[in-house]
Amino acid sequence: MAILYVVATPIGNLEDITLRALETLKSVDLIVCEDTRVTKRLLDRYQINKPVLSYHQHSDLIKIQHIVDQLKNEKNVALVSDAGTPGISDPGNQLVAAAAQAEIKVVPIPGPSAVVSALSVAGVPTDNFIFYGFLPHKKGRQTIIGQIAENKMTSVFYESPHRILKALEQLKDVISDPGRQIIVCRELTKIYEEVVRGTIDEVFEYFNLKPIKGEFVVVVSGR
């Protein structure tokens, strides 16, 4: 029976890939990815030459069925995303569900994920945490910001460079306790990697003073 491998790939530094991930990508019949150009860069770096097929959040059921059919025809498939672990704020869950439904074995090949990388350097309790993925842009955003302010356990979320300052400003409005630690992780594993720690006022002031670029994970310590 064929296997669907769910393979984690680097979140920036192309050397952050496991031996098992490379072996798997070399061995499968088909690599299903988000943006074929992004995945090609990784495959070229490791001289892996395999057919790739794009699959994203808006892929229709016909595409999912096509991939499941390949698996039923004894083709091993690797699912990757542009960066990190597929299915974590990334496409993949529907395909995994369809494969599981067809009784196809689904095997994780663990590796990088921005949320876990950020928590690992945050220096705040992580025995329990709440991960919000991306905050909604409009509806429901303020409610979640309020929840984060109230949470007793650590909160963590992804944010785009366009909205990071807004998120910090919104948190500043609801977090009054100066003991709360905010850790903003920018461009992890990349050249401009930066981990900014402080109170909400300190962190907001820091980012308020400069142009904002890159990818961000925000960690907020519990109340």
Which residues form the interface with ligand SAM (CB under 6 A)? Answer: 11-12, 81, 83-85, 88-90, 113-115, 158-160, 185, 187-190, 215-217
* Minimal distance, residue 71 CB to ligand SAM, in Å: 22
The residue at minimum Cβ distance from ligand SAM is 84
CA distance 102 to 99: 5
* Minimal distance, residue 183 CB to ligand SAM, in Å: 12
Q: Which CB atom, from 76 or from 113, has the smaller least distance to ligand SAM? A: 113
Amino acid at site 145: I
Q: Which CB atom, from 113 or from 181, has the smaller least distance to ligand SAM? A: 113
CA distance 178 to 103: 52
Amino acid at site 201: D
* Minimal distance, residue 8 CB to ligand SAM, in Å: 7
In which order are the strands placed within the sheet that holds 154-159?
A: 129-134, 154-159, 216-220, 182-186, 194-198
* Minimal distance, residue 112 CB to ligand SAM, in Å: 7
Q: Which CB atom, from 68 or from 185, has the smaller least distance to ligand SAM? A: 185
